[in-house]
Structure 1
Amino acid sequence: MQLNALSKIAAAALLLGGLAAQTVAQTVVLNTFDADTSYLTGWPNPLRFGEDVAVAFELDSAASIQSILTSIVRVGDSGGVTLGVIARDGALPGSLNWLHSTHVEPTSVDAFVHNTLVSPTGWALNAGSYWLVAVADAGFDGQWQSATDAGPAPYAVSTSTGVWKTVDSEFTGMPGARITVTSAVPEPSTYGLMLAGGLLVAAAARRNARRQQG
């Protein structure tokens, strides 16, 4: 009886230890920048009230967004932008049902440095397809610049009437965006620990079954 109890305790410890032995991996799931993000030559996409911009991205597995770097800038005097994530169910965004969002106030265009960085907390997403969307405040006048001059550019913009359309000009690159996510990845030793724990549990179960039969 005592041996059986000790086996179960040891098995539980190994299982818990195996589950805890994980590392956090960082992955870039969207990157439309060149290597140099300090000098962008791409097309400036207008970003004003009612004229939104959306860029599609994919997640192969559940993850949390660690950072979002964009080339969103302000050309007017003031104002901000809501930057967030919605589910992607088709070729164009639908209603803006935010899964996560935050309000940012981009810097003005005083140089060719167009980097608005967001480091959100708690932006967890399941595997799937998403849109990264920028929505300007009333009175905001700015742009989400393409990171390169290369096309085509499979992203979406909304007109002043609120109708979304795909930008497919061969002369317009995608808006500059870099999304970095983190996800828990089991270490190789984890699988061995979990296997050992499973074997101990199975052995204890067999011993218990034999005792009951005897």
Structure 2
Amino acid sequence: MSSIQLTLFMAILSVISFVTDAYDPDPLQDFCVAVNDTDAAVFVNGHICKDPKTVTADDFSYSGLNKPGNITSPVGTKINLVFVDELPGLNTLGISMVRIDYAPHGSNPPHVHPRASEILVVLEGTVYAGFISSNPANPNDENKLYAKILHPGDVFVFPKGLIHFQYNLGETNAVAYASLSSQNPGVVTIGKAIFGSDPLVLPDLLTNSFQLDGKAVSRLQSLPWIGNA
């Protein structure tokens, strides 16, 4: 190979390397509408950075996850978040965590985190946890359920963006901690999003999509849906 050919070859490799390394960062909010306003505040990952001269150790510390959550939700769970709003030092670090307290037969209803994978560890109780795969290439094939019954010390992983859930199988309270790969992973509670949106989704669409009759859809849309809490 001549020196000219070698130089050209190296140049092509450099371009390929640049293209493969150039990508947009994962979004940290549902959307970001562009604004042509030079006076608009500048945000970094959804937050303005604090002046480093005023940063203290308290910005990187959070207390309280040792305390049981007050379970008042009708689904029987209480989720204590440690996201960037609760722990400012998480900003730009791409991590967060939660504590989940489950009443007997309480559930963390089916939901997705659009911006994060999750790893769950059970501390107390018996928790049924799982996720559902995305649609297979063959539309006649079924989405696959991956689920296990977890005991204290057991760990389960939920891939980014897939529907997942937990359910306390026991007759006593259960406790789990979860870490997520985003400072602001977001959460979409499936039932609430579909049947409790504002404004409501067109009922005829839901009747057709879920193969339900109109009365069932009307009842579901009349319920006081809540998010994972």
Settle same-fold status: TM greater than 0.5: no
Greater share of strand residues, 1 or 2? Answer: 1
Taking structure 2 as the reference length, the TM-score comes to: 0.29
Q: Which has the larger radius of gyration?
A: 1
**TM-score normalised by L of structure 1:** 0.30
